Amino acid sequence: MSPRHVLLATLVAAIWGFNFVPISIALDDFPPFLMAALRFAAAAVPAVFFVRRPGVPVRWLPLVGLPLGVGQFGLLFLGMELGMPAGLASVVLQVQAIFTALFAVVLLRERVGPAQVTGMAVAFGGVLVLGTAQGTAPAAAFVVCLGGAAGWGLGNVAMRRMRKAGTVDPFGFMVWMSLVPVMPLLGLSLVFEGTDALPRAVRDASWGGVGSLLFIAYVSTLFCFGAWGWLMRRYEAGTVAMYSLLVPPFGLVSAAALLGERVTGVQLAGAALVVAGVAAGSVRLRGMPQPRLGTR
């Protein structure tokens, strides 16, 4: 990659890591399912009038949009609302690489090589360390965040299967896919957060909450996915995907600096194991396909 493109990939990873800070801020004003619905609505509704619908069968929009929109982000926001610290959430979510590999074996009959098995074992060890470390998060919040990582992994497998059918514009697909989770998330909000969740959020929302929601929708979603897809079209997927390993460090540093979160030595060790395991599972072996890491 050229130096400019390295900087672009690093910038995207930095924004995705920092993104957990505005998520935390916005959750002070919006309940999690409603916030997820508003995030996708804001990302899709203006842009969909200017971006051509991707040339893939319509069925792929819900097949990807439901696990990513409802599974990944709905559960991530819920987990953080339940007490998962922003910095550690950025680490736990990277376990999506393990779920991606496991789902690919079951659903796509892909083979798992020695490097991936080793990486999954190391990353799983990191998850155990984080899950049992004192003060990491309430058990329910931790499990819900893991569920978000599983949703991301399932969405990755769906995208991988879709890409085998032909070339897809990732930015256009992201815009149109964002329409899918809005109504299911609003339904979950009505059931679990009450019929007055939206009016209450509109009435009580602060400038910080609204600004954070717009940052999540337009910067971390549209700009970052557009830039990431642009890089993916020009370089090997494995080369670009490795920069997603920078997301947890940026997430931990941002949360510590801006939210005052403290990370213990044991938690740092667990985070290091997760990142090292994901990295080890992403090493290309001769004659084996490179696994595609997910992005935020």
Q: Is 114 exposed, middle or buried (0-12, 13-18, 19+ CB in 10 A)?
A: exposed
Closest of 176, 174, 159 to residue 237, by C-alpha: 159
Calpha distance 203→188 (Å, rounded): 20
What's the pLDDT tens digit per position in 169-185? Answer: 788 888 999 999 999 99
Say how many residues make up the chain.
Answer: 296
Cβ count within 10 A of residue 45: 14
For residue 55, what pLDDT band results from cuts at 50, 70 and 90? confident
183 is a domain residue = yes
Residue 31 has pLDDT above 50, yes or no: yes
Residue 145 — φ and ψ, nearest 5°? -65, -40
Calpha distance 171→139 (Å, rounded): 36
What's the pLDDT tens digit per position in 203-215? Answer: 988 999 999 999 9
What's the pLDDT tens digit per position in 191-241? Answer: 999 999 999 998 988 999 999 999 999 999 889 888 887 887 777 666 777
Residue 264 has pLDDT above 90, yes or no: no
Looking at residue 238, its pLDDT comes to: 61
291 is a domain residue = no
191 is a domain residue = yes
The residue range of the domain holding 22 is 3-280
Looking at residue 128, its pLDDT comes to: 83
DSSP character at residue 123: H
1 contacts: CB under 8 Å, gap ≥ 6 = 9, 231, 235, 239, 240
Residue 286 has pLDDT above 70, yes or no: no
254 is a domain residue = yes
CA 69 → CA 25, 34, 86, 221, 241, distances in Å? 20, 12, 19, 12, 20
292 is a domain residue = no
Element holding 2 (H helix, E strand): none
8 is a domain residue = yes
Mean pLDDT across the stretch 15-31?
95
What total of structural domains would you count in the chain? 1
Distance of CA 81 to the CA centre of its chain: 16
Calpha distance 133→44 (Å, rounded): 39
Mean pLDDT across the stretch 81-110?
88
What type of residue is 113?
A: G
295 is a domain residue = no
